[in-house]
Structure 1
Amino acid sequence: MSKLFIPYIMGNKDFIQSLKIMDDNGADFIEIGLPFSDPVADGPTIMKAGQEAIQQGMNVNKIIDQLIEHKDDIKTPYLFMTYYNLIDYYGVERFIKRISEANVYGLIIPDLPFELGEKFKEKLKGSNVKLISLIAMTSSEDRIKKIAEKAEGFIYTVTMNGSTGDDKGFHEGLKNKIAYIQKHSNVPVVCGFGIKTVEHAHEFKSFSDGIVIGSEIVKRLQRDQINDTISYLQSIRSALDEA
């Protein structure tokens, strides 16, 4: 079975072009990072990209405006990776209304605990926007079960302690934890943090429902020729599709 490929891009001045590249080269969902001055889950690559996006003048309004303008051009569902402070500062109701207009599929909010997330879902009712659950491998089985049973869209599992792009090694017992989450969930369970290579794609597809790649894609979009980035994306897609 083909597994989910979820690339991450930063909401910088070129993000629509990046979005279209991901859309054309095998993404099943696309994460768009909203630039934020104080990210807690982002490693140095994404943090630097966010700071550069802010310096370019990118903000929530500009990103949403451009998505509204181009929403009919993008076939792949896209999500916002953001922090609750940014949503709160913008105005929760206004934010939800605007992202609904922009066809945003869902939100990933690392600093929003499960309990507050369930309350936030009440505000999302009436929109088509989903709140994507994150599960850390350090969570207790009771908490994992509770989060998994309430999840919508897909579940994002954090495969290591640390920030995006780290090389600290993946959690011991990861396969068993993923299996436990899948047992209690009705949505796909994907793995993120530290995943970069075709070898990683082969490894993770054997026990999860897909992968998120962030820092490596942000780095390649900044550093490489477009054709080289496309080749990389296609190699990940092929790895996930192989029997």
Structure 2
Amino acid sequence: MDRIAETFARLRREQRAAFVAYLCAGDPDFDTSLAACRAVIEAGADVLEIGVPFSDPLADGLTNQLAAQRALDGGMTAARVFELVRRLRETSQVPIVFYTYYNLVFSNGVDAYVRAAKEAGVDGILTLDLPPEEAGDVQAACAAHGVKTVFIVAPTTPAARLAVIGAAATGFIYYVSREGVTGVRDQVATNIPEAVAAIKRHTALPVVVGFGISTREQVRQVAGTADGVVVGSALVNVIKAGLADRAAVPARLRAVAQDLVAGTR
């Protein structure tokens, strides 16, 4: 079963974009993280992007850096990330994509890591710092175990590389709408329609857009062009704001996520 393809096909029939929710696994502790993930799924997230906590998350802004640090301080490990996915699979079939870094995959053995991810219930892997030209081992492992690959296109990506990236991806393309790192922004980038159109000339896969999207109106703007909209920091900030009362985090997160999801409709 290809949950990613099935989800995007259904959303095309419904004539709306996917809402892709990002949360860091284990932030701020396992139980709160599990409840938070379930809350955004219940709020209507179409795809759950799970950040695998890492000590040097070079693509992440301060909000997500601190989330990763809270998760690591709380005892999150690779094994517990897989356990989190298994627990989510008890109640949901929403597509789950790992947002990770190559060191975490390589250090555990690429084939073994991808196999464990698949067995846990992961549908796709986005390895932030791994360009397709150097991703042969990950691509081979993903093909062997039925895990989809996701690759990034940035505003600075030369047009000549779009075909290479499009050919390497099997799940979807993630367009990073701004230069720099993740984080809340006051406005969305103005060149998104042109960038998405350029990518689509080289792939039939869905194109999702992320980085800097944090309000319902911003989601609505991007959803008019893209196949999916990624929101991360705005959700992670809800967890940060609720550290003193962790039991209340899921309800607060559900309310924020419902408002954002409304932007895709």
Please confirm whether the aligned pair reaches a TM-score higher than 0.5, indicating the same fold.
Answer: yes
8 Å contact 2:110–2:137 — kept in the other structure?
Answer: no
2:101 pairs with 1:77 = no
For the Cα contact (< 8 Å) 2:126–2:151, is it kept in 1? yes
**Pair 82,16 (structure 1): closer, same or farther in 2 beyond 3 Å:** same
Describe the SS at the equivalent of 2:259. Answer: helix
Note the residue ranges of structure 1 that are not aligned, 5 or more in a row: none
Shift of 1:61: 0.7
Which deviations, in whole Å up to 9, do the C-alpha atoms of 1:45-94 show, x marking residues without a partner? 11001111111111111121232344232221111111001111122122
Secondary structure, counterpart of 1:187 in structure 2: coil
TM-score (norm 1): 0.93
Tell me, yes or no, if structure 1 residue 50 matches structure 2 residue 68: yes
1:152 aligns with 2:176: no
Output the CA distance in 1 between the equivalents of 2:155 and 2:221. Answer: 17
Contact 1:160 1:169 (C-alpha < 8 Å) held by counterparts: no
Q: What per-residue deviation string (whole Å, max 9, x for no partner) do you get for residues 24-64 of structure 1?
A: 11111101111110111011011001111111111111121
Distance 1:119 1:135 in 2: 20
Q: Distance in 2 between matches of 1:58 and 1:96?
A: 18
Alpha-carbon deviation of 1:132?
0.5
Secondary structure at the aligned position of 2:144 is classed as coil
Asked if the contact 2:149–2:168 (Cα under 8 Å) also holds between the matched residues in 1, the reply is: no
1:2 aligns with 2:16: yes
1:227 maps to 251
CA distance in 1 between partners of 2:172 and 2:123 (Å):
11
Q: Which range is displaced more, 111-120 or 65-74?
A: 65-74
CA shift in 2, pair 1:118/1:89, >3 Å: closer
* 222-231 vs 121-130, greater mean Cα deviation: 222-231
Local SS of the residue matching 2:71: helix
Tell me the residue number matched to 2:193: 175
Partner of 1:237: 261
- Are 2:237 and 1:213 equivalent residues in the alignment? no
Q: How far is 1:142 from its partner?
A: 1.4
Are 1:107 and 2:125 an aligned pair? yes
- The amino acid that maps onto 2:20 is I
Q: Can you list the C-alpha shifts for 1:98-136, whole angstroms capped at 9, x where unaligned?
A: 111101011111100121224421122221211111111
Contact preservation (8 Å) 2:105, 2:113: yes
Give aligned pairs, total. 241
| RMSD (CA atoms) | 1.7
Inter-CA distance 237–66: structure 2 relative to 1 (3 Å threshold): closer
Identical aligned residues as a percent: 30
SS in 1 for 2:208: strand
Letter in 2 for 1:147: I
2:144 paired with 1:120: no
Q: Distance in 2 between matches of 1:181 and 1:28?
A: 22
- Opposite residue 4 of structure 1, the aligned amino acid is A
- Asked whether the 8 Å contact 2:208–2:228 carries over to 1, the reply is yes
CA-CA distance at 1:168 after TM superposition? 8.1
Deviation (angstroms), 1:146 = 2.4
